C-alpha cells in the first residue's frame, strides 16, 4: 500500500516510528508537510498538490494534525477523503475532538457527570456567569487551547472577573467551570 503521513515534521519520533513500522510491513510511506500541501477543489477530479506535483495513487492517509493547524489540516484530510483515500482518522472526527464545547454538550446530553460549565464570548454580567458555576474557585478555559495552554485557575471572584475581562479583550470564547479538587 502507498500511505501518506500528514505531519509538519518528519523528524518527530512518532512520525519516524509510523514510517518505520509501515516500511517494515512492506508499505510505501510518504511524509507530507500538511501546510505545504495545496488543493484543487474540482467536482470531477479533486486534487492535492505538493512540491509542484499532484499527489496520486495513495491507498490510505495517517493524519498527524496538531491543534494549531486543525482547520487547514482537516481541509487537506477532507480532500484526501474526497479523492477516495482511506483515512486512519476521519476529518470530521478530528474536528469534533478539538471542539471542547461540543464534547461537553454531547457528554451532558448522555447524562455523564461533568463540572458545572458556563460558555461565553462577551457576557453582559460577569458576576452572573461566575455564580452560574457556583462561584470561586473556578477554572477558565479558552476553547482553542490544548495541553493546559489557555487554562486558568481563579481562586477568587475578583481574579475570575479580571481573567474573563482579559479574554473578552482578546475576543476569545471561554468556558467557565466549577473547580473540582483532585482526590487524594
Q: What is the pLDDT of residues 5-60, one digit of tens each?
A: 999 999 999 999 999 999 999 999 999 999 999 999 988 889 999 999 999 999 99
Over the stretch 113-142, which tens digit does the pLDDT of each residue have?
A: 999 999 988 778 899 999 999 999 999 998
List of domains in the chain: 2-97 (3.40.50.20), 100-178 (3.30.1490.20)
Q: Using alpha carbons only, give the angle 170, 174, 180 rounded to the nearest 5 degrees.
A: 135
Tell me the pTM: 0.74
CA distance 38 to 134: 48
Average pLDDT for 93-120:
90
Burial class (CB in 10 A: 0-12, 13-18, 19+), 41: exposed
Amino acid at each position: 500500500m502507498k500511505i501518506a503521513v500528514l505531519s509538519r515534521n518528519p523528524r518527530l519520533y512518532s512520525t519516524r516510528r509510523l514510517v518505520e513500522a509501515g516500511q517494515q510491513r512492506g508499505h510505501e510511506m510518504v511524509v507530507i508537510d500538511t501546510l505545504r500541501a495545496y488543493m484543487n477543489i474540482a467536482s470531477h477530479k479533486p486534487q492535492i498538490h505538493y512540491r509542484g506535483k499532484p499527489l496520486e495513487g495513495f491507498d490510505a492517509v495517517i493524519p498527524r494534525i496538531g491543534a494549531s493547524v486543525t482547520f487547514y489540516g482537516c481541509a487537506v484530510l477532507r480532500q484526501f477523503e474526497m479523492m477516495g483515500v482511506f483515512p486512519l482518522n476521519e476529518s470530521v472526527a478530528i474536528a469534533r475532538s478539538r471542539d471542547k464545547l461540543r464534547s461537553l454538550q454531547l457528554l451532558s446530553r448522555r447524562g455523564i457527570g461533568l463540572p458545572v460549565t458556563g460558555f461565553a464570548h462577551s457576557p453582559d454580567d460577569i458576576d452572573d456567569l461566575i455564580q452560574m458555576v457556583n462561584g470561586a474557585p473556578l477554572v477558565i478555559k479558552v476553547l482553542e487551547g490544548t495541553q493546559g495552554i489557555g487554562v486558568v485557575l481563579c481562586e477568587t471572584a475578583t481574579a475570575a472577573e479580571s481573567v474573563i475581562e482579559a479574554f473578552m479583550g482578546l475576543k476569545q470564547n471561554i468556558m467557565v467551570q466549577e473547580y473540582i479538587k483532585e482526590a487524594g
